[in-house]
């Protein structure tokens, strides 16, 4: 079922509640620059096993509204809260990939994990996507600057290049085209504003506020959110489960989809 939920005046967020009567609800949060279709190969398996899967397009992406503002992590976390309340979600698993993984961590602090019983972070951009004076494990700032400049210069070309480093294993040409089209469904300004947020957002303190069962999945060949970020998340979240993916890059949900789906179902129960 399709929903458009108003999170503030004039801004609606799209949610696809694929199996409303299913068990163990999972709210899937996609990363930049995609949309909820990113998890197609999870839906394929989970729906057959009776899970309730909810795919949310974050603001500026997919079928959600695309305002010129509101792309910092606090506002993104507030959007999740509005969706959770509107959908009356409770005792659900929150799954965040990449930037959405970072936003999920912020949600746990800012909204005290409202409604969430389990958290899954996959290739998450926490505690910092880029290098900091006290954290040398992220990307250098120029890598993000190049993405921003590339968006302004030739967004399709930038997205194509990003797609080439997203997966560790070679994908087919039709698959690469499908991935590119997801990115093109976003607004150019939202594509830039999220990238700019990477330069300022940090979650070193937020990690300590995660106090529910947490599964961390991270590809060792990740060239976007480097593997050391997953290690830092595991160190910062007490009692978390950390599963490295030895044959995966940033798109571990496709690079090793069978392992990913198995780990997710084992964890959610």
Contacts (Cβ under 8 Å, ≥6 apart) of 235: none
Active centre residues (catalytic): 98, 222, 250
Are 147 and 154 in contact by the 8 Å Cβ rule? The answer is no
Distance CA 24, CA 253 (A): 19
> Which H, E and C letters describe 63-75, residue by residue?
CCCCCCCCCCHHH
pLDDT of residue 143: 97
User: Token pair for residue 146?
Assistant: 């190049």
User: Token pair for residue 210?
Assistant: 């995660």
pTM equals 0.97
Angle (CA) 207-209-214 rounded to 5° is 70
pLDDT of residue 25: 98
Q: What is the mean pLDDT of the segment spanning 73-87?
A: 98
pLDDT of residue 119: 99
Instruction: List Cα–Cα distances, 100 to 47, 126, 225, 268, in angstroms.
Output: 22, 10, 12, 19
pLDDT of residue 65: 98
pLDDT of residue 102: 98
pLDDT band at residue 123 under the 50/70/90 scheme: very high
Q: In what order do the strands lie in the sheet with 214-219?
A: 2-8, 11-17, 51-57, 23-29, 92-97, 116-122, 214-219, 241-245
Number of structural domains found in the chain: 1
Return mean pLDDT, the chain: 98
Neighbours of 174 (CB within 10 A): 8
Query: Inter-axis angle of helices 188-200 and 99-110, to 10 degrees?
Result: 60
> pLDDT tens, 2-36?
999 999 999 999 999 999 999 999 999 999 999 99
Q: What is the mean pLDDT of the segment spanning 218-231?
A: 98
Full domain range(s) for residue 137: 2-268
pLDDT band at residue 161 under the 50/70/90 scheme: very high
Distance CA 113, CA 200 (A): 23
pLDDT of residue 186: 98
High-pLDDT (> 90) share of the chain, %: 100
Q: What is the CATH number for 91?
A: 3.40.50.1820
């Amino acid at each position: 079922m399709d929903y458009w939920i108003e999170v503030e005046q004039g801004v609606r967020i799209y949610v696809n509640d694929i199996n409303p009567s299913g068990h163990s609800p999972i709210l899937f949060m996609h990363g930049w620059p995609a949309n909820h279709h990113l998890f197609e190969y999870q839906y394929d398996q989970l729906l057959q096993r009776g899970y309730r899967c909810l795919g949310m397009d974050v603001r500026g992406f997919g079928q959600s509204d695309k305002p010129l503002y509101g792309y910092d992590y606090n506002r993104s976390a507030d959007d999740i809260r509005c969706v959770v309340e509107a959908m009356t979600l409770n005792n659900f698993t929150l799954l965040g990939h990449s930037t959405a993984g970072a936003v999920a961590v912020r949600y746990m602090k800012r909204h005290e994990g409202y409604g969430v019983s389990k958290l899954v972070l996959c290739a998450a951009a926490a505690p910092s996507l880029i290098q900091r004076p006290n954290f040398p494990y992220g990307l250098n700032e120029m890598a993000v600057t190049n993405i921003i400049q590339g968006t302004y210069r030739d967004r399709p070309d930038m997205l194509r290049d990003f797609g080439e480093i997203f997966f560790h294993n070679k994908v087919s040409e039709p698959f690469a085209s499908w991935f590119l089209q997801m990115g093109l469904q976003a607004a150019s300004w939202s594509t830039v504003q999220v990238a700019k947020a990477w330069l300022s957002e940090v979650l070193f303190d937020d990690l300590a506020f995660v106090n529910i069962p947490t599964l961390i999945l991270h590809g060792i060949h990740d060239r976007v959110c480097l593997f050391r970020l997953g290690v830092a998340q595991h160190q910062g979240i007490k009692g978390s489960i950390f599963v490295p993916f030895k044959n995966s890059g940033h798109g571990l949900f496709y690079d090793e989809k069978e392992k990913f789906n198995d780990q997710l179902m084992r964890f959610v129960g």
